[in-house]
């Protein structure tokens, strides 16, 4: 029996690297596309998602059984607001149009959205049925992507995932936990942060990609699924964990520019639907993830 073939967009990125390894370890033939050339990788193609004809050519060449669409501009503070819409919305539309025209029958198309679509003003545990309330261009682009994807659901077996915060070795220091880890690793004297008394849901990238793999295997076409730990930690807790692991203390300076107006104190996701779909699945304790990140070489 031939290996199932998967095409991952954004395969060279943080999540894509871990997902490729997870799928290869579980019997998938992994192909990928991205924005940077890599001629040494024979199963990789450098493609701009905004160039529809090039994208169609790659899809026709690979003839995947499944697709995971990770390629996106994900840093909320990215300086070019237009880029969110070009890449996250129009790039996704080009991909879906290419997939709808492929001769090979697809088993699953997994689209990575974001828990940012819920906004940051709804307190408590968020299920997939909570109203969408995006608060920045990144989140609006993801909401637009989700609604646009609905136009293709009769033609394609689409599953939308809404991951909450997740982290791990290799994530950019533009993101909060890698920034904190980097300061402890270099034993910095101080760090500038926002509100330390906000509680958020953090997952480990290794658990996230396991969830993505299982969703590819169970193929719940039409579903929208939170991917989250269901556990919350405050930033103050994160700092204490990092201090304990590293045996280093640093001074925290509260920068008013990093404090969001009307930000809710506690925000987490419900993973009930995910667990109903994929069965037994868990996220390592955050302290274990931080220990892994702080010990990385």
CATH number at residue 15: 3.40.50.720
Q: Which of 147, 122, 138, 4 shows the shortest CA–CA distance to 84? A: 138
Q: Is residue 243 part of a domain?
A: no
Evaluate whether residue 20 is within a structural domain. yes
Q: What is the pLDDT of residue 296?
A: 85
Q: Does 29 map to a domain?
A: yes
Is residue 261, in this structure, part of any structural domain at all? no
pLDDT at 74: 63
Q: How large a percentage of the chain has pLDDT more than 90? A: 81
What pLDDT does 193 receive? Answer: 95
Q: What would the 3-class secondary structure string for the chain be?
A: CCCCEEEEECCCCHHHHHHHHHHHHCCCEEEEEECCCCCCCCCEEECCCCCHHHHHHHHHHHCCCEEEECCCCCCCCCCCHHHHHHHHHHHHHHHHHHHHCCCCCCCEEEEECCHHHHCCCCCEEECCCCCCCCCCHHHHHHHHHHHHHHCCCCCCCEEEEEECEEECCCCCCCCHHHHHHHHHHCCCCEEEECCCCCEEEEEEHHHHHHHHHHHHHHCCCCCEEEECCCCEEEHHHHHHHHHHHHCCCCEEEECHHHCCCCCCCEEEECCHHHHHHHCCCCCCCHHHHHHHHHHCC
Look at residue 190 and tell me if it is in a domain. Answer: no
* Tens digit of each residue's pLDDT (9 = 90 or more) over 141-158: 999 999 999 999 999 999
pLDDT at residue 267 in the model: 86
Give the C-alpha separation, 297 to 276, whole Å.
37
Residue 219 domain-assigned? Answer: yes
Query: Total structural domains in the chain?
Result: 1
More confidently predicted of 195 and 209: 209
Work out the mean pLDDT of the chain and round it to a whole number.
Answer: 93
Strand partners, 158: 109
For the segment 179-187, the average pLDDT, to the nearest whole number, is 97
In a domain, 194, yes or no: no
Task: Quickly state the pLDDT bin for 285 (edges 50, 70, 90).
Answer: very high
Q: How confident is the model over 78-87, as a mean pLDDT?
A: 80
Predicted pLDDT at 1: 64
pLDDT band at 257 (very low <50, low <70, confident <90, very high): confident
Residue 27 — very low, low, confident or very high, per pLDDT cuts 50/70/90?
very high
Predicted local confidence at residue 201, as pLDDT: 95
Query: 25-29, 63-67, 83-87 — which is least confidently predicted?
Result: 83-87
The answer, yes or no, to whether residue 124 has pLDDT greater than 90, is: no
> What's the pLDDT band for 258 if we cut at 50, 70, 90?
confident
User: What's the distance, CA 16 to chain centroid?
Assistant: 9
Percentage of the chain lying above the pLDDT 70 cut: 97
- The pLDDT score that the predictor gives to residue 77 is 56
- Name the residue range of residue 20's domain: 5-167+203-230+267-283
Per-residue pLDDT averaged across 119-131, rounded? 88
Which pLDDT band holds residue 230 (cuts at 50, 70, 90)?
very high
Whether the per-residue pLDDT at 114 is higher than 70: the answer is yes
pLDDT of residue 104: 85
134 occurs within a structural domain: yes
How far is the C-alpha of 193 from the C-alpha of 210, rounded, in Å? 31
């Amino acid at each position: 029996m031939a290996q199932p073939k998967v095409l991952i967009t954004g395969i060279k990125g943080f999540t894509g690297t871990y997902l490729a390894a997870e799928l290869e370890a579980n019997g998938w033939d992994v192909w990928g596309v991205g924005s940077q050339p890599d001629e040494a990788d024979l199963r990789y193609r450098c493609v701009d998602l905004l160039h529809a004809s090039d994208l169609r050519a790659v899809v026709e060449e690979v003839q995947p059984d499944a697709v995971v669409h990770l390629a996106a501009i994900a840093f909320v503070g990215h300086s070019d607001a237009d880029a969110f819409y070009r890449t996250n919305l129009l790039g996704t539309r080009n991909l879906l149009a290419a997939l709808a025209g492929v001769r090979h029958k697809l088993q699953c198309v997994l689209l990575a959205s974001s828990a940012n679509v819920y906004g940051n003003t709804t307190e408590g545990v968020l299920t997939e049925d909570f109203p969408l309330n995006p608060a920045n261009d990144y989140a609006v682009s993801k909401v637009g992507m989700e609604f646009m994807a609905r136009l293709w659901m009769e033609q394609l077996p689409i599953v939308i995932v809404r991951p909450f915060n997740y982290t791990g070795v290799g994530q950019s220091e533009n993101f909060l936990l890698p920034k904190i880890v980097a300061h402890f690793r270099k034993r910095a004297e101080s760090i500038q942060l926002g509100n330390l008394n906000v509680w958020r849901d953090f997952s480990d990238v290794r658990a996230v990609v396991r969830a993505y793999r299982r969703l590819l295997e169970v193929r719940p076409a039409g579903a929208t699924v939170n991917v989250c730990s269901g556990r919350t930690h405050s930033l103050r807790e994160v700092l204490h964990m990092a201090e304990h692991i590293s045996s280093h203390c640093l001074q925290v300076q509260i920068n008013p520019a990093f404090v969001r107006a009307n930000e809710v104190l506690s925000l987490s996701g419900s993973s009930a639907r995910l667990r109903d779909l994929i069965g037994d699945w868990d996220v390592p304790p955050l302290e274990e993830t931080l220990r892994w990140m702080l010990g990385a070489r």
